[in-house]
Amino acid sequence: MAKITTASLLKMKQQGEKISTITAYDASFAKLFDQAGIHAILIGDSLGMVLQGQDDTLPVTIEEMAYHTQCVKRGVTDTLIIADMPFMTYANKDQALSNATKLMQAGASMVKMEGGAWLNDTISALVERGIPVCAHLGLTPQSVNVFGGFKVQGRDADKAKQMIEDAKLLEAAGAQLLVLECIPSDLGKAISEAITIPTIGIGAGKDTDGQILVMHDALGISCSYMPKFSRNFLKDTGDIKKAVELYISEVALGNFPGEEHIFK
């Protein structure tokens, strides 16, 4: 597999090829995923829940994210590496520039931030200084206390319309990738068609340009519960590398997510 870049992902969208993405937090799994042919790896602040046993992602620090980014980087040859900016590490432009620099120097090729059009100036500042940005709309886990829990977003017509507008504004600000989490499948389709940058869905239907799963969910080893939008690929194969290869194949063929994994 040739080295994956943001340009590679854009070309995939333009050619109608599906993008497969998964989280990783250490060199061993990162190397396995890289060799299996995954297109992008996200070092997610989900590590707070799946590694640390926290109730949500809020306690994760920038130092922890940088450490796990360094670990993942050591296992990767070709896969694009994206790192989450954790809670309240990008509340203003200067803070975002400082913390994004730490993640890029740790080995990330792109940083991810949750939020709508209020991030526009920050995204522009990062991109102008050579830091690619992945935006994130829908269920943004860092806002779990505002949402009152992990709930599907965008079912209300006005909120759906606002999300489409936010997506356009984030693209205009310079975002090169957009994660859509826990939204109705028709909204995932509408946003994907409204912007030219690739969309990566997690519980956003099968019409996004790609999919992402938390590795613990994809391998059926999450200690709490299996989200509706996930599938245990290890159960189907009995082998971790084959499970990841099946995930990549099922995304590419349009078989995952299935009807049972999407929100209406």
Q: Omega before 86 cis (within 30°)? A: no
Q: Is the distance from CB of 191 to CB of 180 less than 8 angstroms? A: yes
Q: Is the distance from CB of 108 to CB of 136 less than 8 angstroms? A: no
In terms of DSSP bridges, do strands 40-43 and 110-114 run parallel, antiparallel, or are they unpaired?
Answer: unpaired
Residues whose CB falls within 8 Å of the CB of residue 172, separated by 6 or more in sequence, listed in order: 120
| Tokens representing residue 259 in the block | 């009807």
Annotated binding site for Mg(2+): 45, 84, 114
Q: Is the distance from CB of 47 to CB of 60 less than 8 angstroms? A: yes
Annotated binding site: 45-46, 84, 112, 114
- The beta strand positions in 85-216, using DSSP E, are 110-114, 133-138, 177-181, 199-202, 210-213
- The beta strand positions in the chain, using DSSP E, are 19-23, 40-43, 80-84, 110-114, 133-138, 177-181, 199-202, 210-213
Q: Is the distance from CB of 180 to CB of 197 less than 8 angstroms? A: no
| Catalytically annotated residues | 181
d(Cα 252, Cα 12) in Å, to the nearest integer?
A: 11
Annotated binding site for 3-methyl-2-oxobutanoate: 45-46, 84, 112
DSSP letter string, 46-59: THHHHTT--SSSTT
